[in-house]
């Protein structure tokens, strides 16, 4: 390859090796930078990053590009539906409206390989909400609980939704108590031979006795399932304060059901306080808990964790068989 000389007034020239050194594929943008790029519509999900060309330039590019140099495209709808690992990756985010974040959320789910992504404060009023539908990448489905608007409210600040990979069987649980002090959606997630019951909660406003009574009645039903349990969401209770009366009461309620809260005492909101929680059974391991700083996608933190699937050992039965040709018909008929 000959040297590439710039015009004389530039006073610069580059050889082949110098040009190759300028090419780098190990650039990873920090998430705040990616968020800014997302907001201007300049970022594409990984499976859509093929060069977008048009006209004659596209024809020339196609003629000079071989199959070996074309970046492979990924179709998430053709991915295998059986889980490839023995753990499920969860994400939790108080989105404070998905209306202006659906592209960011969909790209985040696909690129960071989440299996279950839980969202509170979606601000959606119906299951067919366009912004919520756009949060769902290919190969995923959604289980949601909208907050309908009323004649007395002009702004909807509620709604919860779970975006679940179709590699797992997801079934919504409908025979559960009706509550008024918080919003929730509950479903089972089944992969291979293991099932996880997931309860997504969003509570706001002053804490009342009704909240604890309704949460207790809900946990009584969920605890009946003989499987792993995940209870996550924005509880709006400062559990990082050990002397807070509401934190103490919530801890006592969870302890009565042999459950523990797993998020470390770090701020999950820009104003401070550990408000977004991950609750599991006390004997249920949770791996790789991360709490990202607030004000990246929302005023709340993005929480991530992995839940190992408790796969039971295969059931084996020993039996003795023989070929039909060796069967003694006379002996069998005599019996």
Residue 53 domain-assigned?
Answer: no
Residue 117 domain-assigned?
Answer: yes
Q: What's residue 28's pLDDT?
A: 66
Residue 259 domain-assigned?
Answer: yes
- Closest Cα to residue 73, out of 46, 40, 39, 35? 46
Residue 8 domain-assigned?
Answer: no
Domain count, the chain: 1
Task: Give the residue, 302 or 157, on which the prediction is more confident.
Answer: 302
Mean pLDDT score, 1-29: 59
Residue 225 domain-assigned?
Answer: yes
Cα–Cα distance, 302 to 284 (Å, whole number): 22
Q: What's residue 234's pLDDT?
A: 98
Residue 193 domain-assigned?
Answer: yes
Mean pLDDT score, 49-64: 44
> Above 60 in pLDDT, residue 114?
yes
Q: Which CATH number goes with the domain that contains 250?
A: 3.60.10.10
Cα–Cα distance, 64 to 205 (Å, whole number): 62
Under the banding of pLDDT at 50, 70 and 90, the label for residue 177 is very high
Cα–Cα distance, 166 to 115 (Å, whole number): 9
Please enumerate, as own/partner, the contacts of 26-35 that have beta carbons within 8 Å and a separation of 24 or more: 31/292, 31/296, 32/296, 35/104, 35/296, 35/297
Residue 179 domain-assigned?
Answer: yes
- pTM of the predicted structure, to 2 decimals: 0.69
Task: Give the residue, 327 or 274, on which the prediction is more confident.
Answer: 274
Q: What is the residue range of 231's domain?
A: 85-308
Under the banding of pLDDT at 50, 70 and 90, the label for residue 52 is very low
> Above 50 in pLDDT, residue 79?
no
Under the banding of pLDDT at 50, 70 and 90, the label for residue 329 is confident
Taking all residues of the chain, what is their mean pLDDT, rounded to a whole number?
A: 81
Q: What's residue 53's pLDDT?
A: 41
Q: State which H helix or E strand residue 303 sits in.
A: strand 302-308
Under the banding of pLDDT at 50, 70 and 90, the label for residue 22 is low
Report the percent of the chain where pLDDT is more than 90: 59
> Above 90 in pLDDT, residue 199?
yes
Residue 41 domain-assigned?
Answer: no
Beta bridge partners of 191: 194
């Amino acid at each position: 390859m000959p040297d590439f000389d710039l015009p004389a007034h530039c006073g610069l020239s580059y050889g082949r090796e110098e040009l190759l050194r300028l090419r780098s594929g190990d650039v990873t943008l920090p998430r705040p930078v990616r968020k800014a790029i997302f907001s201007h519509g300049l970022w594409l999900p990984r499976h859509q990053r093929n060069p977008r060309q048009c006209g004659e330039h596209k024809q020339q590019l196609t003629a000079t590009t071989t199959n070996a140099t074309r970046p492979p495209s990924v179709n998430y709808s053709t991915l295998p539906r059986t889980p490839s690992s023995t753990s499920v990756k969860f994400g939790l985010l108080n989105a404070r409206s998905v209306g202006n974040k659906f592209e960011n959320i969909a790209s985040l789910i696909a690129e960071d390989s989440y299996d279950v992504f839980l969202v509170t404060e979606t601000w959606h009023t119906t299951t067919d909400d366009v912004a919520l539908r756009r949060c769902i990448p290919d190969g995923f489905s959604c289980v949601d609980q909208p907050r309908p608007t009323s004649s007395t409210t002009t702004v909807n600040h509620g709604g919860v939704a779970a975006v679940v990979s179709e590699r797992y069987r997801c079934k919504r649980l409908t025979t559960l108590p009706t509550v008024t002090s918080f919003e929730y959606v509950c479903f089972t997630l089944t992969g291979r031979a293991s099932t996880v019951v997931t309860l997504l909660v969003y509570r706001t406003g002053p804490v009342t006795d009704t909240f604890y009574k309704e949460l207790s009645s809900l946990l009584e039903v969920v605890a009946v399932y003989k499987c792993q349990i995940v209870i996550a969401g924005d509880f709006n209770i400062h559990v990082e304060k050990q002397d807070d009366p509401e934190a103490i009461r919530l801890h006592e309620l969870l302890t009565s059901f042999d459950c523990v809260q797993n998020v470390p005492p770090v701020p999950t909101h820009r104003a401070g306080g550990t408000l977004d929680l991950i609750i599991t059974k006390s004997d249920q391991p949770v791996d790789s808990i991360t709490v990202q700083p607030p004000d990246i996608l929302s005023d709340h933190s993005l929480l991530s964790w992995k839940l190992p699937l408790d796969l039971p050992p295969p059931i084996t039965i020993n039996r003795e068989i023989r070929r039909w040709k060796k069967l003694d018909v006379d002996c069998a008929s005599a019996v």
